[in-house]
Structure 1
Amino acid sequence: MADTPPPLARLEGVRKRYGDTPALDGIDLSLHAGQVTALLGANGAGKSTAVGLLLGLLSADAGDVSVFGQAPGSAAVRRQCGAMLQSAGIPERLRVRELLELVRAGYPRPRSIVDCVALAGLDGLLERRYGRLSGGQQRRVQFALAICGRPRLLFLDEPTTGLDIEARQGLWSAVRELVADGSAVLLTTHYLEEAEALSDRVAVLDAGRMLAQGSVGEIRARVSLRRIRCVSSLPAGAVAQWPGVREAVREGDALSIAAEPAEPVVRRLLEADPALRDLEIRRAGLADAFLALTRPALQEAA
């Protein structure tokens, strides 16, 4: 069997504090070529700190941070990375074409402007001043700037905030194309459906600690929660009180129920409503697993 290629970037036993507050508490994280890794967590979980360390914007208090086998932040490393962060600091008077030309000049083998426009959905925007664009258009420009250097390692920090559905799906398609070409992507997002759609691996942070890592399927398998959906006249409030039911809500004629375990709840549903129909049972999604993993930590903190 062939050896597994080494990761393009790695955090090993990394610790970082801001005063008395731990931002990262001994975490390990590896980013591999041809994979999207989603870093998930609530605000303050440590996601931005992890990204800052890998970009060389911050220094670790302990542990090892490496990118392409080197310390992050050097010119050689930066030329192989792209980043779309929440705070951009882009000159508002420059036109989109000027911004692309300026950033492309810093890379040895940049993408053509035509390719950047196609991947980021910038048709008709090249001659517009950046400051005159809408928030969603500015985010698309930021994505184009992040990918124009053909990065081997791409950091996307909440990339689809402010984008409409069509633009979001266009960005997803572009990310898949980059990954198919061998790039590694670190994605932070609050949209768990986005992480589920794009990610090969998921890492869940809470208060600087790594709660879980693995494929989307492995993370979902950490919880036995099931989603039950059926058309029934049973009142959602009453079903919500049944043993094993975490949540029951009405969606038109249908009941949507989160249960663990599901089998006793399904039996009781069938007994309580002989007219029940269109019964569906599916495993937990990534959002369900994320809540199940982080809820105990939140309760402990409270």
Structure 2
Amino acid sequence: MINDTCIARLEQVGKRYGAIVALDGIDLEIHRGELLALLGPNGAGKSTSIGLLLGLHRADSGKVSLFGRDPQDIEARRRIGVMLQSAALPPTLKVGELISLTASYYPAPRSVAECADLAGVADLLGRRYADLSGGQQRRVQFAMALAGRPEILFLDEPTVGMDIVARQALWAAIRKAVAGGCAVVLTTHYLEEAEALADRVCVIAKGRVVSEGTVDALRAHVAVRRIRCVTTIAAETVAAWPEVVSAELVQGRLAIATAEAETVARRLLDNDATLCELEVQRAGLAEAFTEITRDTGATALSQEAA
């Protein structure tokens, strides 16, 4: 990554809340035009990291910068958009009024119509915010986050409460923002969401970065791959093969874990001419996360499909 693309940074940052160490010398960079997913169990330090970059907290040690400025500098704050996990918005205002009010805080905002179109809420502009479903409210909050033409979008659990159609529509809008050069910082408990969207993943545990890289790089921490097939070979027979970690029958299909998938697949085909529905899958981000955080004592995130 080219250094001059870095637009926000934590450098050896420490933060305590009384006796609790929230951040322990953390380093973090955010680059223009990338989506960075911050992953970690509750209490890992994700929210504190975001709060420091938003200027909501002050670091006890180290340096925090946003566009080369103090995060509390108004000129820096005008260049970001924020969608927090919970938002207390005036319930009686209509959606169009909320977006217009948010846009009024910025020097060169998007129009209400453009924000609504990008977030997929054009049909909701005349409705009161309080009358919307939870998923619809999240989409409105996303429209508000886009109002100031942000160069960095901070999205905290953005798809909570959304159905699969709305979630995928928001993913498309996020990808469009990134393609336009906007940096996106995503915190999510949906590992498949990070897997689908992230250019780079940063795993935080106990206030420190324990792993960082592309999704593929993190997957490489797990050597075991999964094979599924329909076969007449008994699970007990396959489980005894030296290359196989485990084998069991699951809903009529043989599920195999192995670090030598090609060898096992060939052996299956050699031993069963009727074998069918053969699938080989590498480790997902959920397995990689579990492996990476195993030594930290951290608890794995939700593996719910996103």
Fold shared, TM-score > 0.5 on shorter chain: yes
Correspondence for 1:73: 72
Correspondence for 2:62: 63
Map 1:283-302; keep pairs closer than 5 Å: 283-298=282-297
Kindly state the Cα deviation for residue 55 of structure 1 after the two structures are TM-superposed: 0.4
Map 1:163-174; keep pairs closer than 5 Å: 163-174=162-173
The letter for the 2-side match of 1:76 is E
Correspondence for 2:47: 48
- Decide whether the 8 Å contact of 2:154 with 2:185 is kept in 1: yes
- Decide whether the 8 Å contact of 1:246 with 1:260 is kept in 2: no
For 1:75-132, what per-residue CA distance to the aligned partner results, in whole angstroms no more than 9, with x for missing partners?
1111100010112111111111110110000111111111111111113211111111
- Decide whether the 8 Å contact of 2:247 with 2:254 is kept in 1: no
Q: 1:97 to 1:227 in 2, by over 3 A?
A: same
The 10-residue stretch of structure 1 (213-222 or 141-150) with the greater mean CA deviation from structure 2 = 213-222
**Cα separation, 2, equivalents of 1:124 and 1:272:** 59
Secondary structure at the residue paired with 1:162?
Answer: coil
Q: Does 1:104 align with 2:72?
A: no
**Cα separation, 2, equivalents of 1:99 and 1:268:** 62
Correspondence for 1:177: 176
**% identity of equivalent residues:** 56
Correspondence for 2:31: 32
The letter for the 2-side match of 1:24 is L
- Decide whether the 8 Å contact of 1:233 with 1:253 is kept in 2: no
- Decide whether the 8 Å contact of 1:120 with 1:171 is kept in 2: yes
Q: 1:277 to 1:52 in 2, by over 3 A?
A: same
Correspondence for 2:304: none
Q: 1:61 to 1:257 in 2, by over 3 A?
A: farther
- Decide whether the 8 Å contact of 2:113 with 2:122 is kept in 1: no
Structure 2: gaps spanning 5 or more residues: 300-306
The two structures, once aligned, show a CA RMSD in angstroms of 2.6
- Decide whether the 8 Å contact of 2:157 with 2:186 is kept in 1: yes
Kindly state the Cα deviation for residue 257 of structure 1 after the two structures are TM-superposed: 3.5
Correspondence for 2:202: 203
For 1:51-94, what per-residue CA distance to the aligned partner results, in whole angstroms no more than 9, with x for missing partners?
11110111111111100001112211111000101121111111
Q: Does 1:16 align with 2:15?
A: yes
Kindly state the Cα deviation for residue 215 of structure 1 after the two structures are TM-superposed: 1.3
Q: 1:22 to 1:263 in 2, by over 3 A?
A: farther
- Decide whether the 8 Å contact of 1:247 with 1:257 is kept in 2: yes
Q: 1:246 to 1:61 in 2, by over 3 A?
A: farther
The 10-residue stretch of structure 1 (208-217 or 155-164) with the greater mean CA deviation from structure 2 = 208-217
**Cα separation, 2, equivalents of 1:107 and 1:247:** 58
Correspondence for 2:302: none
Map 1:185-200; keep pairs closer than 5 Å: 185-200=184-199
For 1:10-49, what per-residue CA distance to the aligned partner results, in whole angstroms no more than 9, with x for missing partners?
1111111222221111111111111000001111111111
**Cα separation, 2, equivalents of 1:41 and 1:294:** 9
**Cα separation, 1, equivalents of 2:175 and 2:117:** 14
Kindly state the Cα deviation for residue 263 of structure 1 after the two structures are TM-superposed: 5.8
**Cα separation, 2, equivalents of 1:237 and 1:103:** 62
Structure 1: gaps spanning 5 or more residues: none
**Cα separation, 1, equivalents of 2:107 and 2:298:** 50
Correspondence for 1:93: 92
Q: 1:26 to 1:4 in 2, by over 3 A?
A: closer
The letter for the 1-side match of 2:20 is T
Kindly state the Cα deviation for residue 214 of structure 1 after the two structures are TM-superposed: 0.9
Correspondence for 1:162: 161
- Decide whether the 8 Å contact of 2:205 with 2:298 is kept in 1: no
TM superposition score normalised by structure 2: 0.88
TM superposition score normalised by structure 1: 0.89
- Decide whether the 8 Å contact of 1:23 with 1:49 is kept in 2: yes
Map 1:129-140; keep pairs closer than 5 Å: 129-140=128-139
- Decide whether the 8 Å contact of 1:39 with 1:203 is kept in 2: yes
- Decide whether the 8 Å contact of 1:41 with 1:47 is kept in 2: yes
